[in-house]
Amino acid sequence: MKKKIIFFNILFLIILLWVVDYSVFEIRQYQSYQSCLKLGIREENILRNQYFCKITSFIKHWLEYIYQDSIVNSNSNDAVLLLGCSFMQGEGIEFQESFSYHLSKLLDINTYNRALGGRGISEMYFQTQILYILSTIEKMKNNCSNDECSEQDVINKAIKSLSFDKKTEKYFMEIFNDKEAKDFIYKNFSPIIDKNIEYIFYIYIDDHIRRYYTRREPDTFYVDRLSFKYDKKNNQFILRNPYFSPYRTLYIFEVLREKFIKKNYLDSPKYYEENLYMWSQLMLKTKEIFDKIYNNRIKKYVIINYNNMLENKYSYNLMKYLPEDSFIVVNISDLVDDDINLKKYVTPWDNYHPSRFVWEEATPKIVKIIKENQE
């Protein structure tokens, strides 16, 4: 009798835990669904259970960003392009304390910062494709009189001419046929096309490996924001459906993920090696497109390896699959005066992002390195 009571008590607790857990899961799913609606996505375009969102919503999600460019000479055509995540964006510090600002002053060059918080290599590649489309549109416009074709005709022909896979082509057609998304792109990305981009800077943090999707990665990483990933098929990177990735796992599974999957797989050397290779392939593909846009005029692609985190075990050999004649990797820990893990090098509001002291100390040394590579 006593054993039966213990058994039923345990069973009751398991059922109760499952009910509570599932209820929390449903609440989170609903929050995710509401997030899609707030972006203006029609209900019929949100697939229940998966909560995939239309690609235009990803662009509209950018509308909240106010890009802070540092224009030191409005008459100059020379410029530098910055890409990456919140570390490059300058989150938690004043604009005058950012890498973008210091770089523009030291190089006496205009900087265009298109870094996006919480993003990584996938979004950089996506932005590169946007620039490639804009560049192609401009070339076609020059060969097309106003009487021959409309603006939308030129846009559609430009997208079709770039040999995207059908899925990616469909996504870009949707973007450039949406007025709000198209206006945002033209406002923030068209000016870059006309510039003489000398350097492209990308900031790398260890978490970018996790943010990048490969087929071998368990789909367990979640953040409360709109994102998308790429699959590699037949030597092409194919854009997946953009989605709100949060809240698709039960709390129990989240615990299991943290204790077992993350420890035994996501933090394993094998995982990092596989995904470092894929990350490098996407970086090379990005370079290939930039070289087409700017006719091979870009001097160097500079990767800033922000290796301050204790879990950063596998990111020190970022050049393993990249050609030395095109890429430079600089380790931020080698460029500051003290130990990069000291509290003064992180913003006080989250103890995570680079503080002003990082860029005050590191930027002059980064400039020195790239100038030495010119000689």
What pLDDT sits at residue 278? 83
Rounded CA-CA distance 161/172 in Å is 12
How is residue 241 annotated by DSSP? Answer: P
Structure tokens at 286: 């990005």
Mean pLDDT of 185-214: 85
Rounded CA-CA distance 214/274 in Å is 9
Residues 6 or more apart whose CB falls under 8 angstroms from that of 311 comprise 206, 267
* CA-wise closest residue to 58 among 175, 223, 212: 175
What pLDDT sits at residue 266? 63
How do the domains of the chain map onto residue ranges?
47-374
- Looking at residue 81, its amino acid is L
- Looking at residue 3, its amino acid is K
Q: Are 86 and 118 contacting, i.e. CB atoms less than 8 angstroms apart?
A: yes
Highest-scoring range by mean pLDDT, 221-230, 296-305, 340-349: 296-305
CATH 3.40.50.1110 is right for the domain spanning 47-374:
yes
Mean pLDDT of 196-222: 68
Mean pLDDT of 344-366: 93
Q: What length is written for the chain?
A: 375
- Looking at residue 66, its amino acid is I
Q: Partners of 204 in the beta sheet?
A: 305
Mean pLDDT of 177-187: 88
Rounded CA-CA distance 122/88 in Å is 15
Tens of pLDDT, residue by residue over 210-259, are 676 543 333 333 334 556 677 777 777 887 766 554 444 455 655 665 56
Categorize the per-residue pLDDT at 168 as very low, low, confident or very high, splitting at 50, 70 and 90.
Answer: confident
Rounded CA-CA distance 16/251 in Å is 14
Tens of pLDDT, residue by residue over 26-64, are 676 676 667 666 666 666 555 544 455 666 666 666 655
Q: Which helix (H) or strand (E) holds 144?
A: none
Tens of pLDDT, residue by residue over 84-101, are 989 999 988 999 999 999
Q: What is the CA radius of gyration of the chain?
A: 23
Of the CA atoms within 13 Å of residue 17, those in its CB half-sphere come to 10
| 311-317 own/partner pairs: CB under 8 Å, 24+ apart | 311/206, 311/267, 312/205, 312/206, 313/267, 313/269, 313/272, 314/206, 314/209, 314/269, 314/272, 314/273, 314/276, 315/204, 315/206, 315/209, 315/272, 315/276, 317/276
Q: Which helix (H) or strand (E) holds 365?
A: helix 356-374
Q: What is the DSSP string of 121-142?
A: HHHHHHHHHHHHHHHHHHHHHH
Q: Are 159 and 42 contacting, i.e. CB atoms less than 8 angstroms apart?
A: no
Query: How many degrees, rounded to 5, is the angle at CA 131 between CA 125 and CA 136?
Result: 125
Rounded CA-CA distance 255/262 in Å is 10
What pLDDT sits at residue 88? 94
Burial class of residue 79 (count of CB atoms within 10 Å of its CB; 0-12, 13-18, 19+):
buried
pTM over 0.85: no
What pLDDT sits at residue 277? 85
